[in-house]
Amino acid sequence: MSLLWVPLLSLIGSFVSAFSGKLSRNMSTLLCAAFPAFALAIVVYHGAAVLDGETLRFHIPWIPLLGINLSFRLDGLALLFCFMILGIGLLVILYARYYLSTKDSMPKFYAYLLLFMTAMLGIVMSNNIIQLWLFWELTSISSFLLISYWWHSSDARRGARMALTITGAGGLALLAGFVLLGHIVGSYDLDVILGQADLIKNHALYPVTLCLILLGAFTKSAQFPFHFWLPHAMAAPTPVSAYLHSATMVKAGIFLLARFYPALSGTELWFLLVALTGLATLLVGAYMALFKHDLKGLLAYSTISHLGLITLLLGLDTELATVAAIFHIINHATFKASLFMATGIIDHETGSRDMRKLNGLWQYLPYTATLAMVAAASMAGVPLLNGFLSKEMFFAETLHQQILGSMSWLIPVLATLAAAFSVAYSMRFIHDVFFNGEPIGLTKTPHEPPRYMRVPVEILVALCIIVGMFPHFAVDDILSVASQAVLGHRAPEFNLAIWHGLNLPLMMSVFAVAVGIFIYVQRKHLFQFQASLPDLDPKRGFLVGVKSLVNYAERISGALENGSLQRYVVLLLLVVVIFAGLPLFEMEKLVGNQGLTPIDPHNAIGATLLIIGALATVIWHRVRMVALLMISIVGLMVAVAFTRFSAPDLALTQLTVEVVTVVLLMLALFFLPHRTPKESSSIRLLRDVGVASSVGVIIGSICYAILTRPLNSISDFFVANAKTGGGGTNVVNVILVDFRGFDTLGEITVLGIAGLGIFKLLANLPLFMPASDGDGRPWARERHPMLLASISQTLLPLAILVTVYIFLRGHNLPGGGFIAGLVTAIAFILQYIAHGSNWIYERFNVNYRKIIASGIAIAFLTGVGSWAFDRPFLTSWFEYFDIPAVGKIELASAIAFDLGVYLTVVGATLMILASLGRLTASSHEKQEAN
């Protein structure tokens, strides 16, 4: 099975889980677990080859031009993370089955969880950094969904928002870093990038790139000072915390550091930034953890501190430090996930996570308590458990590094101090919760959880012990291939053993335990000291920043968006005036070198009429009926202009559209006031006239500049090929149905959508029914004049005949689907006007929506038809046939396409006008009934 299936299976699982609401809880859990289990099997199947040192790859070109491909790889590091993601994921799925109550939606939870799993698998397996980033952002989004799973709690919403803001912002920095990296190397391929370490490190952009990528990693892995989102994310259900905040999501940042270790590390800047950030995080986390009364809060800060530890290790300049970092990734995942799960059990059984209330639980939950205590001991670094081994390695490496020059001794000292705090908070976790007297104020008596809820914890704790006692057997292989992937060459010799002899690291451990116990015993004084400190959490800065940003955005949008359409339009037009007007002033000469044609009297008369019509519309715009008449003069003159300047198709279209538009606006006037009151102040009028005339002057000037310059067009191609390639002599029509047929298909679709939109807008219209026109005169009773009725009825067949003629000749002479459709529509509208819609409805009951649909379908299918002949979409076909007695005729696929255009135009136009017309008719009937 190919590597693609690993993330794909969990993605499919996510969709399947989302629809498993009908199944029982057990079935739904089983179904959800099947997908990652299968993916895990695939990983195990490939694992053998990877453990032998191979790197498996999978590659599909996606946008090769931009260097963006779908490509995955599985090396030692990815294998280790896949095991953790899928393995712990499966345990969490089982655990969540018992943790979630019947009120919580299981399908939703599992769908989000598997979506998150997909994202994590994508990150660790990506072989293309843009793709990696995509999955990186998907983890931010899916973790947002998981943290806000209990969306009704405001804490959950706030925590989710905070996590998304911080990790999302970091993700943007990461993207910038990746783009720079791609720019430096010239490829987004991870294989290529990892092989170009020298090029990257010597590039001038290296410091910026490094800082941006580290910003992404540090925000994700909750490094100081971005750590504060993690404690707030504890509002998530505990299985989410066990999964995201111990083993996976927060490890993504660490993974990123490890993944780019061969390409980016080894410089002074890397060591300082990574090591010092790690050190600060380690100390702050360990210190703060002690003061949290919430169990999950304690674990959250402890996680922060351990993440700092791993980061610090990656920032040390010895190779063994890297091995130790990877070892600690494994160990931390096992003991922290089990601790979170144990906390979930305690919360589930007692209804509280407050350590001031929880005491003496040993007597109620002896089994769970034992498991939790083993895990907590591992967290503290007690011998025979896995946490001890990596902590010893950590101490040893702090002694070997040289990154702070002569002050390098500070690092082992501070590391021991942090370890002492970690012993102290682990002790608090054990002593405060399971011993230390009786529980206070619990609402229910705790007892052991369901059998299978404990199984995941048991497995993880067993792992802690196995790794702790037989490290060589358990993790040697995977650790060495993973280290090899991080270091880029064979891992150095390392010896995982419980007993290394009486050496300095062991002394440091003993010292840390002793100091830790002392701190815990004397904690009262520390608590008092901490309580007297002002709140130094960087969270406050974040909150203040967010608040001021929101206020600023509100002020800006409030200032711009005041609800006045006029104001928006004026602002937009001013932008046009500036950007279109200024270049005109820079031009030397407006008039081009093409000779002007003389003005003949016909043109002069037409232009005068057009200008008079336009001005009259403006002058009488308050008397709406008059304005409508005036604007129709303008439309008519535009049609005449098209006729004059060799565009017969345009003239026909303009003429027919003009008729339809005027009918439409007349109908509209029935529902709208007939006069516009005088409202505009003089200053407003002055402003509008100013804006309108400046835009007019600019557009007119541009038009003049175009007209007086020679034409350089691509149209020669169309003229040359219309007959031979498209089979028609009317070039405009051939362009519409053939050369640019795809455009036309889009346009009739828009037409159809507009028609449907109008249909919906008119549905359930609360009718505003004026009883009289604007001046108080009642509407005429005589609705359908006899003369018009009989003439229009006689005209209809004639009009249809004309339509057919216009349609058929369209390919070779002016005409075609658009014009024929409009003429048909006008013929029918005349019937509506003459007889009323009820009369038509009785005789000609057609669903116009179906006509629109069939029109678009015919046009589309004509296009699809060319696939049958192995041609691209919308290739046209034509042939001449000799039919006896009729003569030579041409058949072309373009005719079918034009038929689709025709039907859509007829359907849309009639739907618009007929539905509006029907409303006026029904309002008339209501009046008559009254």
Partner 1 sequence: MELLYACCVGVLVSCGIFLLLRARTFPVVLGLTMLSYAVNLFLFASGRLVVNQAAVLGYSTSYSDPLPQALVLTAIVIGFAMTAFVVILAIRGRADLGHDHVHMAFPKLKKGNK
Scanning residues 604 to 623, which ones bind partner 1 (CB under 8 A)? 604, 607, 610-611, 614-615, 617-618, 621-622
Considering only 101, 102, 495, 713, the residue that binds partner 1 (CB under 8 A) is: 713
603 binds partner 1, rule: CB under 8 A: yes
Written as six digits, the tokens of 345 are 């059990």
Q: Which residue in 442, 758, 796, 857 binds partner 1 (CB under 8 A)?
A: 758
What number of chain residues touch partner 1 (CB under 8 A)? 115
User: Nearer Cβ to partner 1, position 183 or 723?
Assistant: 723
Measured from the CB atom, the residue of 171 and 727 that comes closer to partner 1 is 727
Among 628, 826, 830, 895, binds partner 1 (CB under 8 A): 628
853: contact with partner 1 by CB under 8 A:
no
User: Can residue 699 be called a binding residue for partner 1 (CB under 8 A)?
Assistant: yes
| Phi, psi for residue 715 in degrees, rounded to 5 | -70, -15
Q: Is 532 in the site for partner 1 (CB under 8 A)?
A: no
Please identify, among the stretches 46-54, 134-142, 151-159, 737-745, the one whose residues bind partner 1 according to the rule CB under 8 A.
Answer: 737-745
Give me the least distance between CB of 669 and partner 1, in Å please.
7
Site string for partner 1, 887-906 (x = CB under 8 A): ------------------x-
Choose which of 79, 908, 910, 914 interacts with partner 1 (CB under 8 A): 908
CA atoms within 13 A on the CB side of 831: 22
- Residue 845 is a binding residue for partner 1 (CB under 8 A): no
Interface region with partner 1, contact rule CB under 8 A, candidates 19-27, 248-256, 282-290, 748-756? 748-756
**For residues 539 and 740, which CB has a smaller minimum distance to partner 1 in the complex?**
740
Torsional class of 439: left (φ above 0), alpha (ψ -120 to 50), beta (otherwise)? beta
Q: Does 754 bind partner 1 (CB under 8 A)?
A: yes
Q: Please identify which residue in 68, 498, 762, 853 interacts with partner 1, judged by CB under 8 A.
A: 762
Report H helices in 68-205: 76-99, 106-125, 129-147, 154-185, 190-194, 197-201
CB of 856 to partner 1, least distance (A): 14
Distance between CA atoms of 518 and 520, rounded to whole angstroms? 5
Write the burial class of residue 799 (CB in 10 Å: 0-12 exposed, 13-18 middle, 19+ buried): middle
Choose the stretch contacting partner 1; rule: CB under 8 A; options: 268-276, 443-451, 455-463, 629-637.
629-637
Cis peptide before 225 (omega within 30 of 0): yes
**Are residues 852 and 756 in contact, defined by beta-carbon separation less than 8 angstroms?**
yes
> Which is closer to partner 1, CB of 341 or CB of 736?
736
Work out which of 30, 526, 664, 799 binds partner 1, going by CB under 8 A. 664
Query: Which residue, 514 or 719, is less far from partner 1 as judged by CB?
Result: 719
Q: According to the binding rule CB under 8 A, does residue 629 interact with partner 1?
A: no
Give the integer Cα–Cα distance in Å for 118 and 39.
11
Using CB under 8 A as the binding rule, whether residue 732 contacts partner 1 is answered as yes
* Residue 403 contacts residue 272 (beta carbons within 8 Å): yes
Q: How far apart are CA 298 and CA 293, in angstroms?
A: 7
Q: Which two tokens stand for residue 804?
A: 């057919």
Which listed range, 300-308, 335-343, 701-709, 857-865, lies at the site for partner 1 (CB under 8 A)?
701-709
517 counts as binding partner 1 under rule CB under 8 A? no
Which region among 383-391, 780-788, 841-849, 908-916 touches partner 1 (by CB under 8 A)? 908-916
Is 583 near partner 1 (CB under 8 A)?
A: no
Listing DSSP states for 739-796 in one string gives ITHHHHHHHHHHHHHHHHHHHHHHTT------SB-TTSPBPPS--S-HHHHHHHHHHH
Angstrom distance (rounded) from CA 656 to CA 635: 10
Applying CB under 8 A, among 99, 218, 327, 718 the residue interacting with partner 1 is 718
Tell the smallest beta-carbon distance from residue 674 to partner 1 (Å). 9
Stretch that binds partner 1, among 347-355, 475-483, 537-545, 673-681 (CB under 8 A): 673-681
- Concatenated DSSP letters of 206-235: HHHHHHHHHHHHHHHTT-TTSTTHHHHGGG
How far, in Å, CA of 837 to CA of 842, rounded? 9
Least distance between partner 1 and beta carbon 170 (Å) = 24
Nearest to 469 by CA among 499, 500, 505, 498: 498
813 is written with which tokens?
Answer: 């002479």
Closest CA to 236 of 247, 226, 228, 244: 244
Can you read off the two tokens belonging to residue 316?
């040390």
Q: Determine if 686 is a binding residue for partner 1 (CB under 8 A).
A: no
Q: Does 820 bind partner 1 (CB under 8 A)?
A: no
Binder of partner 1 out of 750, 771, 791, 891 (CB under 8 A): 750
Site for partner 1 in 633-662 (CB under 8 A): 634-635, 638, 641-642, 644-650, 653-654, 657, 660-661
Closest separation in Å from C-beta 685 to partner 1: 9
Of positions 367, 768, 867, 881, contacts partner 1 by CB under 8 A: 768
Shortest spacing between CB 858 and partner 1, in angstroms: 17
d(CA 337, CA 342): 9
- Judge whether 375 and 465 are in contact, CB under 8 Å: no
In whole angstroms, give the CA distance from residue 97 to residue 504. Answer: 46
- Kindly tell me which residue out of 695, 802, 853, 857 binds partner 1, with binding defined by CB under 8 A: 695
445 lies in the binding site for partner 1 (CB under 8 A): no
Q: Tokens 């020298």 identify what position?
A: 198
Q: Is 673 in the site for partner 1 (CB under 8 A)?
A: yes
**Closest distance of CB 185 from partner 1, Å:** 43
Does the footprint of partner 1 cover residue 744 (CB under 8 A)? yes
Which pair of tokens denotes residue 367? Answer: 């089994």
State which of positions 240-299 bind partner 1 (CB under 8 A): none
> Which residue of 413, 672, 861, 891 would you call a contact of partner 1, by CB under 8 A?
672
Binding segment (CB under 8 A) for partner 1, from list 412-420, 449-457, 537-545, 715-723:
715-723
- What residue type is 385 in one-letter code? L
**Which tokens hold the place of 247?**
């083993």
Q: Which of 510, 703, 791, 861 binds partner 1 (CB under 8 A)?
A: 703
Closer by beta carbon to partner 1, 812 or else 927: 812
**CA atoms of 912 and 762, how far apart (whole Å):** 9
**CB distance 245 to 340 below 8 Å:** yes
**How many Cα atoms within 13 Å fall on the side-chain side of residue 899?**
13
Strand, coil or helix: 681: coil
Give the pairing of strands 878-883 and 68-74: unpaired
Q: Decide if residue 683 touches partner 1 (CB under 8 A).
A: no
- Give 160 or 181: the residue with its C-beta nearer to partner 1: 160
The CA distance from 825 to 809, in Å, is 19
Of residues 549-578, those binding partner 1 (CB under 8 A): 550, 554, 561-566, 569-570, 573
Task: Verify binding: residue 723, partner 1, rule CB under 8 A.
Answer: yes
- The least CB distance from residue 658 to partner 1, in Å, is 9
- Selected binder of partner 1 within 813, 846, 853, 857 (CB under 8 A): 813
Residue 36 or 821 with smaller CB distance to partner 1? 821
Q: Which residues pair with 70 in a beta bridge?
A: 60
Burial label for 870, CB within 10 Å (0-12, 13-18, 19+), is: exposed
Name the residue nearer to partner 1 (CB basis): 22 or 678: 678
Are 734 and 894 in contact, with CB atoms under 8 Å apart?
yes
The DSSP output letter for 589 is: -
Report the chain's C-alpha Rg in angstroms: 38
CB 503 within 8 A of CB 192: no
Q: What is the DSSP letter of 534?
A: -
The least CB distance from residue 609 to partner 1, in Å, is 10
The tokens of 653 are what? 């279209």
